[in-house]
């Protein structure tokens, strides 16, 4: 229509070829219909090539890890131990089945990624990498050997002293204080979400139930 910002009209370029008919601010596009179709094909081919490159990159990232035993399993996936082939470092990988949620990725996984990308603290679990592979989402964490729940239940071999309990509490509170400095509420602090390392490290994990201060999501 006359006066509209953009409209399609039958147009002929300066060489007399039929143009694509796209007008921009009253000026006809000078490209031919053949050139426009060719450009669309080139763009489509480029997108497919990018998709193939991305898929190949994701496969390479998966191949960086040598899979080990399963550590646990839940509704949306499972966690297994692995070794980084490049560094020899042990890691824990959470495999999330994306098809299990309407949105494609479970919202708890999105929260976990968001919060752990923001948090960097000695008493918060480290999220090393995130990548998709074959309709699954993989979250790579630093590997911790146990959790506080297992320590509490192992009364036959482990007896916690008052000093141990105080040390655990101090580490947990320091981790929570770091979360609160970033305006993050964990909302699921319990023994099996407090992970322990081989050298006595204490780290908060599982931020899927977390919330940002003032955010309903």
Give me the active site residues, please: 188
DSSP 25-49: TTEE---BHHHHHHHHHHHHHHHHH
N- to C-terminal Cα distance for the chain?
44
> What pairs with residue 202 in β-bridges?
196
- 153 known ligand binder: no
Instruction: Please provide the DSSP assignment of 190-205 as one string.
Output: -GGGEEE-TTS-EEE-
Could you give the residue ranges of the DSSP H alpha helices within the chain?
Answer: 33-63, 107-118, 148-153, 162-181
Question: What SS3 state is found at 142?
Answer: strand
Residues at the binding site for ATP are 95
Residues at the binding site are 95
């Amino acid at each position: 229509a006359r006066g509209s910002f953009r409209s399609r009209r039958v147009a002929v370029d300066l060489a007399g070829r039929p143009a694509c008919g796209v007008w921009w601010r009253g000026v006809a596009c000078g490209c031919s219909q053949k050139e426009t179709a060719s450009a669309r094909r080139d763009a489509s081919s480029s997108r497919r090539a990018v998709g193939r490159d991305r898929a190949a990159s994701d496969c390479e990232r998966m191949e960086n890890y040598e899979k080990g035993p399963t550590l646990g399993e839940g509704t949306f996936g499972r966690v297994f131990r692995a070794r980084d082939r490049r560094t020899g470092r042990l890691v824990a990988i959470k495999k999330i089945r994306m098809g299990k949620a309407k949105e494609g990725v479970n919202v708890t996984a999105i929260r976990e990624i968001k919060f752990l990308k923001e948090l960097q603290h000695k008493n918060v679990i480290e999220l090393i990498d995130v990548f998709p592979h074959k309709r699954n989402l993989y979250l790579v964490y630093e590997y911790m050997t146990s959790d506080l729940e297992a320590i509490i239940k192992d009364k036959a071999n482990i007896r916690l002293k008052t000093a141990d309990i105080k040390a655990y509490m101090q580490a947990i509170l320091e981790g929570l204080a770091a979360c609160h400095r970033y305006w993050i509420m964990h909302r699921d602090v319990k023994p099996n979400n407090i992970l322990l390392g081989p050298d006595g490290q204490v780290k908060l994990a599982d931020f899927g139930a977390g919330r940002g201060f003032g955010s309903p999501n």
